[in-house]
A and B are shown apart, each in its own frame.
Chain A
Amino acid sequence: MTVVFWKELADHFSSRRFMILLALIVLSGLWATYATGQAIRQNTDTVPSQYVFLLLLTSSGETLFSLATFLGFFGPLVGITLGFDSISGEYARGTLSRVLSQPIYRDSLINGKFFAGLTTVAVLWGSILLLVIGLGITLLGFPPNAEELWRMLIFTVVGVFYVGFWLALAMLFSLLFQKTVTAALASLSVWLFLSLFVSVVSGAIAGMVVPDATTPEAIARRSDVENIVGRISPSTLFNESVGILLNPAARVFGMALQSQAEGILPTPLALGQSLNLIWPHITTIFGLVAVCFGISYIIFMRAEIRA
């Protein structure tokens, strides 16, 4: 497996595709951070004194996206790009049967490819965060504290697995459709649906379940239903967990009624408490990765390899 892993890793890092992605993400990431950093510098009085580094990731300043939103949106694209031709590409080149007629177990190939993809994502994500931290120190003039670093680290892990889900999905499609283009299109359409249209769908369903939303309770219920339906999409899961993880002050997902919010102290949550809130989200993301990869694994192990 290590042989396949290193070969795939080398392929990823030297591919033109990866260069383009890297340039795109690094440039826009730097730009977003810089803009946010400038905004924070200019409005020092409105900025909370704690967790300024996390603000660098989550506030959008004068730009369109915050860095976290940006990564949540483009992360899947990275996963799909790395995965959509992993198996179908080997089919198309006619290399699959040659590789599999070597004395390796079949799963070494698919495992090697998956972990190489995951490693690539981790390197990408990690380097962006490091860049942001570096730029942040220059802009703000002080380093992040331990709590912020921990939160960023967990953010990275969650993010890598979130992208890993899309990688696994793209690999599954590349296995199901032996044509590279079909696999790419299928993954992209699932991505578009799950990240853009799911909010429309969940809104519609919530509207049907709670048709008459006039009282505050009904409005809150409708919003709850909307949230729950929305969580079928890993994008929602990711965005919600990032919202909690990178914003220690956040303590609920949707709306809270006045009565529920009563008595809450406006202090930041400890890391453990924030994590408690998003455990289900994180486990679901991990589970989705495992399920997607598991299906590909089973199909691949039983597939007939005809070049």
Chain B
Amino acid sequence: MSAVVETKDLSKRYREKLAVNSLSLTVQEGEVFGFLGPNGAGKTTTILMLLGLTEPTSGEVAVCGFNPSRQSLDVKRRVGYLPENPGFYDDLSARENLLYMARLNRIPEEEARRRTAEVLDQVGLSDDGRRLVKEFSRGMKQRLGIAEVLVKKPTAIILDEPTLGIDPDGAIRILELIKNLNREHGLTVMLSSHQLQQVQQICSRVGIIVRGKLIVQGKMDDLGKAILKERQWNFLLEATGNTDGFERELQSISGVDEAEKRAHGWFLRCTHDVRTEVVELVARRNLKLLQLRSEDPTLEEIYLKYFREA
């Protein structure tokens, strides 16, 4: 495995504002890397530097082993880029738009036609190829954008906010498409997003950037574990029946620090996983168990916590 994207102490300064602050990240070949952060965190700026569309103030970038500022053509030949809200030539049909991009990539005409049909099929737009792009919905445009990125047969694709402004169903379709591309064609994918819950399912690794600084990067699970170092085992228990003195019995379970009565059931603060004991207790007391669920912070909450703390 080799690194497709590698940056070292990458920085970009716009007058007074440091948009990207000594960012060091790596995207390995064959993975789906989620580049997460709130709006204005420097995600797009970083991506632009990866493609040589803007020059870094300092630091090093290597994409597929090339320097995007000096060998931009080598980078662009291998990497497909889908900007946020991609635009198309509205008066041309979807096919013509793709053909233009194919020609810019110096793909021979016949090959270009074949590939255009192929990628339109891949993104599920083969029936709309002859329609003008101005008739397309946002979701369709986004898929057309992905098709266009694929025309040049890239080794890696960089997608900026691919699910922005798309309805949940459309977003899921796009994410599935990305996942398939990664799995079936071995494409390395780097995608930026501010919606963790949407992309977490397809990312093998993520990096979180806030105010230009990369706070953390790693595998989704490791990230969770690292964040949950000071993990507390919290549960919510809801049961009906004769619950007199139940609270005291709960507290007597070893590991339960505190049992607190809530509007519906009890909130348990524990030192380790006590679910088995709790269920046994409920069974012993002949109560009806309605629910027992972990009240740990979700990734979403962790993510929010990061945003606020940074």
Contact = CB atoms under 8 A, between A and B. Distances in A.
A102 B53 CA distance: 11
Q: Is the interface of A mostly helix, strand, loop or mixed?
A: loop
Interface stretch (B84-92, B208-216, B233-241): B84-92
Contact of B44 (A98, A100, A105, A306): A306
A100 B53 contact: yes
B77 interface: yes
A305 to B, nearest CB: 4
Nearest to B158: A101
B160 to A, nearest CB: 9
B105 interface: yes
B104 A94 contact: no
B48 A305 contact: yes
B152 A102 contact: yes
A63 interface: no
B86 A94 contact: yes
A104 B85 contact: no
A98 B148 contact: yes
A95 B89 contact: yes
B51 interface: yes
Contact of A304 (B54, B73, B84, B85): B54
A93 B85 CA distance: 10
Interface in A82-108: 92-95, 97-105
B219 interface: no
A7 interface: yes
A80 B73 CA distance: 32
Contacts, number: 73
A261 interface: no
Contacts of B88: 93, 95
Contact of B87 (A4, A93, A102, A105): A93
A101 B90 contact: no
B265 to A, nearest CB: 50
B73 to A, nearest CB: 5
Interface residues of A, number: 20
Contacts of A93: 87-90
Given A94-B83, A101-B53, A304 B100 contact: no
A307 B152 contact: no
B85 A99 contact: no
B281 interface: no
Contacts of B105: 102-103
A97 B53 contact: yes
Interface in B21-55: 44, 48, 51, 53-55
Interface in A271-307: 304-307
B101 interface: yes
Contacts of B73: 103-105
A93 B152 CA distance: 22
B285 interface: no
Nearest to A307: B83
A105 B100 CA distance: 16
Contacts of B74: 103
Contacts of B51: 101
Interface in A113-165: none
Interface in B75-125: 76-77, 79-90, 100-101, 103-106
26 contacts: A7-B100, A94-B83, A94-B86, A97-B83, A98-B82, A98-B83, A98-B86, A98-B87, A98-B101, A98-B145, A99-B104, A101-B76, A101-B80, A101-B81, A101-B83, A102-B101, A102-B104, A102-B105, A103-B76, A103-B104, A104-B73, A105-B73, A304-B54, A306-B53, A307-B83, A307-B84
Nearest 8 A-B pairs (CB), nearest first? A94-B87, A101-B81, A304-B54, A93-B87, A102-B104, A103-B76, A103-B77, A307-B83
Interface of A: 3-4, 7, 92-95, 97-105, 304-307
